[in-house]
Structure 1
Amino acid sequence: MRIVLACLATAAFATPAFAQDEPAAEQAAVAEEASARLTVAVGGAWIPDYEGSDDNRWTPIPAANGTVAGMSFTILGNRASLDVIPEVAGKDWNFQLGPVAVINLNRTNRDAIDDPRVAALGEIDTAVEVGGYIGIAKTGILHDYDTLSASLSYRHDVTKIHKSGIFTPSVNYTTPLSTKALVSVFASAEIVEDRYARTYFGVTPAGSVASGLPVFRPEGGQKDITVGGFVTHAITGDLTKGLALIVGGTYKKLVGDFADSPLVSIAGSRHQWTGGAGLALTF
């Protein structure tokens, strides 16, 4: 779900650099307007019941994006981030740096899990993962208005639920097709530590008795690889102001011990498909 949310944010809140070829005074006006921009969005995502499940369900996704003292913030579902480096209008290169926090809701609600074997393993308390990210973006790859970005984030559980960390490298390409349409595609992966693997993908002897699944003790490492894309289309106004529709989806493949876990190989699937749609209003 975290990847779906991140990509919805990219599609909903990306602002193409349409002002780059305008006179300096007009660029300054656009920059001032962008600094006061606020986007609010609501949508839904078709996501697996748990990470590794072959059953999906709908979940709502509220979102908001704006600026504080020139710094951009994003709140999207269970994820929040802040870019403390202001983006400079008209510059080809932009750097990103700031904190990120995620509320991990994986397997926190037994009633939301259709498979009785996984439900029998019991609920896991909600984990709060806090960390930071660093990234770089280049505008003007194939034409004046597209952007290629790369980032790396690290989060660590501060609630002592899985007591471990998650690294997430990602690459994203965004291009406007017109003043009303924008496409974003991405690839990412998650690398997790041992305790994360055991908390969400392991089966203890007691869990095996309760669920009928075999005992399994995974180790950390690369958990998955994900690719996806989203399309944003302005319903009113253009991509910088008004109401827009966002539609897209992702494919994630679990790898290594995570794909071999009984929660995945027996009760679920290593192939994870998600979809999402929503409406975003930019002021």
Structure 2
Amino acid sequence: MKKLFVLVLAVYGSAASAQTPTTNPMPDGSRDMYAGLGAVSAPRYEGADNRKTSALPVLQVQWSSGAFISGMNAGVHLSGDPTIEYGPLAGLHPRRSESGTGGRIGDALGATLGPVTTRERLAGVNRLAGMEEVKLRLEVGGFFNYYVAPEWRLTSSILAGSGNDSDGVRAQVGVQRLALQVAPHHAVSLSAGATFVNAAYNRAYFGVNPSEAARSGNLEYRPQGGLKDVYVGARWNWTVSPSWIVTSSVQATRLAGDARHSPLVERPTNLTVSTALAYRF
């Protein structure tokens, strides 16, 4: 089977899906590794109207034992059946401060302090100003993928541990078309899916508690769980040489359910675009 090349979104987390690389049979004791650097343009946080451009590290490693690191996720392939992939999965859910998700480069919108009036908010004042920082969290769970054809697979994963109380849970289901050859040395992968979360997750990232409302000027909001978003994406891999690859991706995400109606959301549909150059070790 052909591999997916997954970008590590070290500075942007909302589009960092818990996707796993395809199984890559290899000799015992060997590994396959890609690392590189690029750039990503993404919304400042999930539902933000303004964008940021950030440096983008790239990392994917697979070992013959089945262990892998794929972006901000790590896990182990346990299945011996080529049509099924499953195993434990762990990942890092990025922090969200008043400046947005993760780090930032070239973000001209500064944080403000104290309550934000309706007039100021409509004028473009940061809606995260006065909101509690959501810290970086380790998530743990598992994944299960099923191949309906050699280059089509259904994907699913569940991860728990996000939010300041580490009680957020998110599950993703999707479908992928792998390595569609559009020209010599050029392959495109397509994906679509949905994310479901529990109430604790939505309250951590889209809710506004009474003290946050008093500080930020946002209306109090206590969302429930359910469908959080739907997404479609495409990845283009250009194999420049046996050791070098240019990998680019675009993903459109549409917030849904209670997340969509959060007072923090300025734009429910967001687009993330990235490109990077990676070297095979």
Q: What range is the shorter-chain TM-score in?
A: 0.7 to 0.9
Letter in 1 for 2:96: R
CA contact (8 A) 1:134 1:153 kept: yes
Structure 1 residue 176: Cα displacement? 2.4
Say which is worse superposed, 153-162 or 176-185, in terms of deviation: 153-162
1:118 match: 128
* Matching of residue 280 in structure 1 with residue 245 in structure 2: no
Structure 1 residue 139: Cα displacement? 4.6
2:211 match: 206
CA contact (8 A) 1:104 1:128 kept: yes
Higher helix share: 1
Query: Which TM-score applies when normalising by structure 2?
Result: 0.77
Query: Which TM-score applies when normalising by structure 1?
Result: 0.77
* C-alpha separation in 1, matches of 2:33 and 2:55: 20
Say which is worse superposed, 107-116 or 35-44, in terms of deviation: 107-116
Classify 1:36/1:208 alpha carbon distance in 2 versus 1 (closer, same or farther; 3 Å). closer
Structure 1 residue 4: Cα displacement? 4.2
1:85 match: 79
Of 36, 56, 64 in structure 2, the residue corresponding to residue 61 of structure 1 is 56
Letter in 1 for 2:89: V
1:245 match: 246
How do 1:1-283 and structure 2 match up within 5 A? 1-2=12-13, 4-6=15-17, 32=27, 36-76=31-71, 78-85=72-79, 93-108=82-97, 110=99, 114=109, 115-140=125-150, 147-157=151-161, 161-174=165-178, 175-236=180-241, 241-264=242-265, 268-283=266-281
CA contact (8 A) 1:172 1:186 kept: yes
Structure 1 unpaired stretches of 5+: 18-29, 88-92, 141-146
Structure 1 residue 248: Cα displacement? 1.9
* C-alpha separation in 2, matches of 1:260 and 1:127: 25
CA contact (8 A) 1:162 1:199 kept: no
Secondary structure of 1:118 counterpart: coil
Between the two proteins, the alignment pairs up a number of residues equal to: 248
The CA deviation string for residues 100-131 of structure 1, in whole angstroms up to 9 with x for no partner, is 22222241464758452312213122222111
RMSD (CA atoms):
2.9
Classify 1:119/1:158 alpha carbon distance in 2 versus 1 (closer, same or farther; 3 Å). closer
Secondary structure of 1:38 counterpart: strand
CA contact (8 A) 2:78 2:87 kept: yes
Structure 1 residue 166: Cα displacement? 0.8
CA contact (8 A) 1:108 1:123 kept: yes
* C-alpha separation in 1, matches of 2:206 and 2:92: 18
* C-alpha separation in 2, matches of 1:263 and 1:158: 18
CA contact (8 A) 1:169 1:188 kept: yes
* C-alpha separation in 1, matches of 2:203 and 2:92: 18
Structure 1 residue 39: Cα displacement? 2.0
Structure 1 residue 179: Cα displacement? 4.6
Secondary structure of 2:32 counterpart: coil
* C-alpha separation in 1, matches of 2:278 and 2:28: 18
1:22 match: none
Secondary structure of 2:128 counterpart: helix
Residue identity (%): 23
Classify 1:227/1:259 alpha carbon distance in 2 versus 1 (closer, same or farther; 3 Å). same
Structure 1 residue 79: Cα displacement? 2.7
